[in-house]
Homo-oligomer: A and B are copies of this chain.
Amino acid sequence: MSLIVHKYGGTSMGSIERIQNVARRVAKWHAAGHQVVVVPSAMSGETNRLLGLAKELSVQPDPRELDMLAATGEQASSALLAMALAAQGVPARSYTGWQVPVKTDSAYTRARIRSIDDTRIRQDLDAGRVVVVTGFQGVDDEGNITTLGRGGSDTSAVAVAAAMKASECLIYTDVDGVYTTDPRVVPEARRMKVLSFEEMLEMASLGSKVLQIRSVEFAGKYKVPVRVLSSLTDPMIPLEEEMSSGTLITFEEDQKMEAAVVSGIAFSRDEAKFTLRAVPDTPGVAYSILGPIAAANIEVDMILQNLSVQGTTDFSFTVSRNDALRTKELLTNQVGPAVGAGEIVFDEAVCKVSIVGIGMRNHAGIASSMFRALSEEGINIQMISTSEIKTSVIIADKYMELAVRALHKTFELDQEK
């Protein structure tokens, strides 16, 4: 008997029939003697519907009220799943984030989990119940409802698995695993059977939407074995078959994994690039620019400072497109005047394309192969950022699909190794 955490995304919970399928699958695990905690997302479309209502009322709704609003989606789907389980004879009980409680900080719409008290969950599991815990949400020290940001249900699931030392965390989704890149862009993309935690971390942070970045961080920190697999298979397929499907995120680097120099290509249009022209090139100017941005809780991704020309420099950086408006305001009203910038240029027509591979550690020249491939397609590279196991570039977003396809071919990702 193992303790298993299941997570189901919005598409998997998207209709009554699908919720019933989820219940059938969970019932199968329960019948096999496992203790199961299920973390569902809101029914697909629900979060967008709610946020759409909010946008009709306000251009920038109060984040606290946004969380109050958005958290209802998972509460409803969790209750429905508990009912669906009961209808199939499986005793079940659902809990919201505050009921568990899942304690978070107070950063509304992007809160971080601080602790999870599993007392209630364990009592129910020991009583033979399946426990349904709302994804995406928690509660701060003052009792306000918080949410973890888009895709936060992955994080909830892995965090519950970590807190309870679950044997596995199964992330059921509408794709059957993690691919070398998005198959909608490159039809030859292949599903990876295993992927190292570090590669998954890079893939997630670089725009692969399969797993939310913070869930991967949690998995890494607490060594939670995570498997990404399909919720669209027959719910009654044998457990053994289900257990070997999808993509396993592993913590062991075996020989096979070393062989793949580049494992995957990630990309993202969720980028906004800002350039402050003719900034006086004095010590501390980078901090003067980025300090207020960080203070506003906006994450800066890539940074580029050009060579100084006549005592001034051009300073560029990228942020998530969601933060573009706030960043623009900060730069225009506060940072620009303070540092004496000549001009502030804003470009949303950019994207980020990245190659990721744990094998890059031991192989030279991978980045230059990437640059050559892009140059052969006539794609200009605007910014570059590298780490031990990835190289990312910012390019014009009209070239995104072209770049991804070219890189997928260059690194022979369509071929099983």
Q: Which residues of B contact A78 (CB under 8 A)?
A: 68
Listed residue (A65, A69, A87, A96) with the most chain B CB atoms within 10 angstroms of its CB = A65
Q: Given A94-B65, A143-B99, is A57 in contact with B76 using a C-beta cutoff of 8 Å?
A: no
Whether a CB of chain B sits under 8 angstroms from the CB of A93 is yes
By the criterion of a CB under 8 Å from any partner CB, how many residues of chain A are at the interface? 37
Q: Which residues of B contact A54 (CB under 8 A)?
A: 79-80, 83
Q: Establish whether residues B98 and A56, one from each chain, have CB atoms under 8 Å apart when the complex forms.
A: no
Q: Establish whether residues B53 and A65, one from each chain, have CB atoms under 8 Å apart when the complex forms.
A: no
Within 8 A of B (CB), among A32-66: 50, 53-54, 56-58, 61-62, 64-66
Cβ-defined partner of A58 (8 Å) among B50, B68, B86: B86
Q: Which residues of B contact A279 (CB under 8 A)?
A: none
Cβ-defined partner of A86 (8 Å) among B61, B68, B86, B94: B61
Q: Establish whether residues B68 and A94, one from each chain, have CB atoms under 8 Å apart when the complex forms.
A: yes
Whether a CB of chain B sits under 8 angstroms from the CB of A266 is no
Q: Which residues of B contact A57 (CB under 8 A)?
A: 16, 19-20, 80, 83-84, 87
- Least Cβ distance of A125 to chain B in Å? 17
Within 8 A of B (CB), among A81-105: 82-84, 86-87, 93-94, 96, 98-99
Whether a CB of chain B sits under 8 angstroms from the CB of A75 is yes
This chain: copies in complex: 2
Q: Establish whether residues A64 and B80, one from each chain, have CB atoms under 8 Å apart when the complex forms.
A: no
Complex: chain B residue closest to A139, CB-CB: B99
Whether a CB of chain B sits under 8 angstroms from the CB of A71 is yes
Q: Which residues of B contact A196 (CB under 8 A)?
A: none
Whether a CB of chain B sits under 8 angstroms from the CB of A167 is no
Is chain A's binding surface mostly helix, strand, loop or mixed?
Answer: helix
- Least Cβ distance of A53 to chain B in Å? 6
Whether a CB of chain B sits under 8 angstroms from the CB of A320 is no
Q: Given A94-B68, A99-B143, is A61 in contact with B76 using a C-beta cutoff of 8 Å?
A: no
Listed residue (A16, A83, A143) with the most chain B CB atoms within 10 angstroms of its CB = A83
Q: Establish whether residues B83 and A65, one from each chain, have CB atoms under 8 Å apart when the complex forms.
A: yes
Whether a CB of chain B sits under 8 angstroms from the CB of A72 is yes
Q: Which residues of B contact A20 (CB under 8 A)?
A: 57
Q: Which residues of B contact A93 (CB under 8 A)?
A: 64-65
- Least Cβ distance of A42 to chain B in Å? 10
Q: Establish whether residues B75 and A71, one from each chain, have CB atoms under 8 Å apart when the complex forms.
A: yes
Query: Per-position contact with B for A133-175: 1 when CB-CB < 8 Å, else 0?
Result: 0000000000111000000000000000000000000000000
Q: How far is the CA of A20 from the CA of B53 in the complex (A)?
A: 12
Q: How far is the CA of A50 from the CA of B77 in the complex (A)?
A: 10
- Least Cβ distance of A87 to chain B in Å? 4
Q: Establish whether residues B62 and A83, one from each chain, have CB atoms under 8 Å apart when the complex forms.
A: yes
Q: How far is the CA of A85 from the CA of B394 in the complex (A)?
A: 41
Q: How far is the CA of A338 from the CA of B190 in the complex (A)?
A: 69
Q: Establish whether residues A76 and B83, one from each chain, have CB atoms under 8 Å apart when the complex forms.
A: no
Complex: chain B residue closest to A52, CB-CB: B16
Q: How far is the CA of A54 from the CA of B71 in the complex (A)?
A: 19
Q: Establish whether residues B65 and A86, one from each chain, have CB atoms under 8 Å apart when the complex forms.
A: yes
Complex: chain B residue closest to A98, CB-CB: B98
- Least Cβ distance of A146 to chain B in Å? 12
The 5 closest A-B pairs by CB, nearest first: A72-B72, A69-B79, A68-B79, A58-B87, A16-B56
9 A-B pairs (CB sep. < 8 Å): A16-B56, A50-B76, A54-B83, A58-B83, A61-B83, A62-B83, A71-B75, A72-B76, A99-B145
